[in-house]
Amino acid sequence: MSKMEAFSPIPPKWTNDAVHSLDFYCPQCGNEPRKAQRVWINRRAPVIGDDYERKWQEFYQCDCGEVWWAWSNDRPPSEFAQRDNPVEE
């Protein structure tokens, strides 16, 4: 499968041994998710948080070979979001 399996409803086999990353980076080498070779988002089983907001598991297969996952709401803010919404002074 290619990187475009991200939205497949069926989890790819490579996600079976994923480890949980608490800081949204590869726990083995520190790479950002955008450097991942593969991505899969578990959108079939969202979790509802205390604030009633949905979150999903995002799975990544890193360049270094490590497979890890993190919660979608733990993703750091995008640098592009700041450009789209400039702070008024």
- Model-level pTM? 0.79
| Length of the chain (residues) | 89
Query: What is the domain partition of the chain in residue ranges?
Result: 3-84
Task: Please tell me the least confidently modeled range out of 35-39, 60-64, 76-80.
Answer: 76-80
3-12: long-range contacts, CB 8 A cutoff, minimum separation 24: 3/37, 3/38, 3/39, 5/38, 5/39, 5/40, 6/39, 6/40, 6/41, 7/41, 7/43, 8/40, 9/43, 9/44, 11/40, 11/42, 11/59, 12/38, 12/40
pLDDT of residue 87: 60
